């Protein structure tokens, strides 16, 4: 009998907790043993999407797994929104390679407390995102789970092989640009968590979410920045590197700097701080810059461009913000505007 697993369990005291390695550490650990067998594999583990060579148009593959109780709480996250968001987060990964998402597969595992009609809500959201972003649902798997709802989405996209943007292409003096308001999704989550606690104490409470509408919407119904990808195409801009901001600005800029072998200076006063963000940060006694640096799920895009391309973006209708530049020395700094600077550390999403 294969009691190997039981034997491993007995030795657990000597073993390594996944939490001590972290998600990024675990990915690095896996990468060490991964070999490449096919010439068509252009980019493997470690970017927003994998890149596969076909003709001059390359395929992009990205995948995400969402687990109830880890990534979402169904007591305040409607299933329709969850379906929508699970598609959006994958479209965003394809955008982050400068590509266009064309197909997705969705696998779902559900415990027996779920009924057909509740799953219909989930698929309504999935289909709505597919319609909005012209993406085809082409496959998947459905099965039961021991506990809760698990959703795994894989997105397939295309990109012109001359326009692929990886994390690794940033050059010295390149401008660092973000596509919109950051930190709102994280604050939306704080509001929803607070209202959940109120509801648990007093189920008759009727929360007024109106003042927090934008924040809650950013958390429950984010949109991928396909408009940015269109804009870059129309204006013949090819960013030197690109990433989507799903884990917070800190960990994303560190990904770009590490992958590119560079450093950066970001300017605290150049990072757009929305009025609602400032107000709600005060209410929750949170530091706005910390929220922006560490809060996740914005699904905005950060990219770097050659300074010569600045004239192509300065009059854009899009909400683009130049927040700093790439440096040759490998330090990642945040200029706090008072003559002092802080080292940026990765405080992104912890999966374990």
Footprint (CB under 8 A) of its own copies, residues 128-157: 130-131, 134-148, 150, 152, 154, 156
Of the pair 167, 262, the CB lying nearest its own copies is at: 167
Judged by CB under 8 A, does residue 235 bind its own copies? Answer: no
Of the pair 86, 179, the CB lying nearest its own copies is at: 86
DSSP string for 211-280: GGHHHHHHHHS----HHHHHHHHHTT---SEEEEESS-HHHHHHHHHHHHT-EEEEEGGGS---HHHHHH
* Burial zone of 317 (CB within 10 Å; 0-12 exposed, 13-18 middle, 19+ buried): exposed
Smallest separation (angstroms) from its own copies to the CB of 45: 6
Judged by CB under 8 A, does residue 284 bind its own copies? Answer: no
Smallest separation (angstroms) from its own copies to the CB of 337: 36
Strand order across the 150-160 sheet: 41-43, 50-53, 57-67, 150-160, 100-110, 136-144
Judged by CB under 8 A, does residue 54 bind its own copies? Answer: yes
Looking only at residues 63 through 82 of this chain, which bind its own copies when binding is defined by CB under 8 A?
A: 63-65, 67-71, 74-81
Smallest separation (angstroms) from its own copies to the CB of 224: 15
Work out the angle at residue 247's Cα, subtended by the Cα atoms of residues 325 and 144, and round it to the nearest 5 degrees: 155
Smallest separation (angstroms) from its own copies to the CB of 3: 8
Contact mark string toward its own copies, 333..352, x via CB under 8 A:
------------------xx
Of the pair 247, 309, the CB lying nearest its own copies is at: 247
For residues 184 and 214, the answer to whether their CB atoms sit within 8 Å is yes
- Distance from C-alpha of 191 to C-alpha of 288, rounded to nearest angstrom: 15
Smallest separation (angstroms) from its own copies to the CB of 26: 5
Of the pair 137, 286, the CB lying nearest its own copies is at: 137
Helices 213-220 and 275-284 pack at an angle, to 10 degrees, of 90
Judged by CB under 8 A, does residue 275 bind its own copies? Answer: no
Smallest separation (angstroms) from its own copies to the CB of 158: 8
* Burial zone of 277 (CB within 10 Å; 0-12 exposed, 13-18 middle, 19+ buried): buried
Of the pair 146, 340, the CB lying nearest its own copies is at: 146
Task: Report residue 149 as tokens.
Answer: 């709802």
Judged by CB under 8 A, does residue 310 bind its own copies? Answer: no
Work out the angle at residue 69's Cα, subtended by the Cα atoms of residues 68 and 73, and round it to the nearest 5 degrees: 80
Q: In sequence order, what are the beta bridge partners of 302?
A: 178, 243
Contact mark string toward its own copies, 191..220, x via CB under 8 A:
-x--xx--x-------x-x----------x
Q: Among 19, 172, 173, 331, which residue sits at the site for its own copies (rule: CB under 8 A)?
A: 19
Q: Among 10, 28, 38, 264, which residue sits at the site for its own copies (rule: CB under 8 A)?
A: 38
Which of these, 346, 243, 348, lies nearest to 301 by C-alpha position? 243
Tokens 């992104």 belong to residue:
348
Judged by CB under 8 A, does residue 102 bind its own copies? Answer: yes
Q: In sequence order, what are the beta bridge partners of 106?
A: 140, 153
Of the pair 48, 298, the CB lying nearest its own copies is at: 48
Looking only at residues 167 through 186 of this chain, which bind its own copies when binding is defined by CB under 8 A?
A: none
User: How many residues interact with its own copies (rule CB under 8 A)?
Assistant: 106
- Distance from C-alpha of 64 to C-alpha of 257, rounded to nearest angstrom: 23
């Amino acid at each position: 009998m294969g009691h190997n697993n039981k034997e491993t369990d007995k030795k657990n005291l000597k073993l390594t907790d996944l939490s001590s390695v972290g998600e990024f550490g675990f990915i690095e650990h896996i990468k060490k043993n991964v070999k490449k067998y096919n010439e068509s594999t252009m980019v493997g583990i470690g970017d927003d999407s994998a890149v596969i060579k076909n003709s001059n148009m390359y395929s992009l593959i990205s995948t995400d797994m969402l687990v109830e109780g880890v990534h979402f709480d169904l007591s305040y996250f409607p299933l329709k929104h969850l379906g929508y968001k699970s598609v959006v987060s994958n479209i965003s990964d394809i955008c982050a390679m400068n590509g266009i998402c064309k197909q997705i597969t969705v696998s779902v595992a559900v415990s027996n407390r779920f009924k057909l009609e509740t799953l219909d809500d989930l698929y309504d959201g999935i289909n709505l995102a597919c319609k909005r972003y012209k993406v085809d649902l082409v496959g998947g798997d459905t099965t039961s789970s021991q506990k809760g709802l698990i959703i795994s989405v894989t997105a397939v996209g295309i990109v012109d092989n001359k326009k692929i943007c990886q994390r690794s292409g940033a050059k010295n003096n390149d401008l660092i640009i973000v596509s919109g308001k950051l930190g709102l999704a994280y604050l939306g989550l704080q509001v929803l968590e607070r209202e959940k606690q109120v509801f648990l104490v007093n189920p008759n409470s009727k929360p007024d979410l109106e003042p927090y509408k934008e924040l809650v919407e950013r958390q429950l119904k984010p949109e991928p920045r396909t408009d940015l990808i269109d804009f870059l195409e129309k204006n013949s801009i090819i960013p030197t590197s690109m990433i989507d901001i799903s884990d917070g600005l800190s960990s994303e800029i560190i990904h770009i700097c590490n992958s590119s072998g560079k450093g950066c200076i970001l300017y605290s006063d150049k990072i757009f701080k929305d009025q609602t963000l400032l107000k709600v940060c005060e209410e929750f006694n949170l530091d706005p810059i910390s929220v922006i640096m560490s809060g996740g799920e914005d699904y905005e895009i950060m990219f770097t461009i050659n300074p010569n391309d600045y004239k192509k973006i300065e009059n854009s209708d899009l909400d683009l913000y130049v927040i700093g530049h790439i440096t040759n020395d490998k330090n990642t700094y945040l200029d706090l505007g008072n003559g002092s600077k802080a080292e940026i550390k990765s405080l992104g999403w912890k999966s374990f």
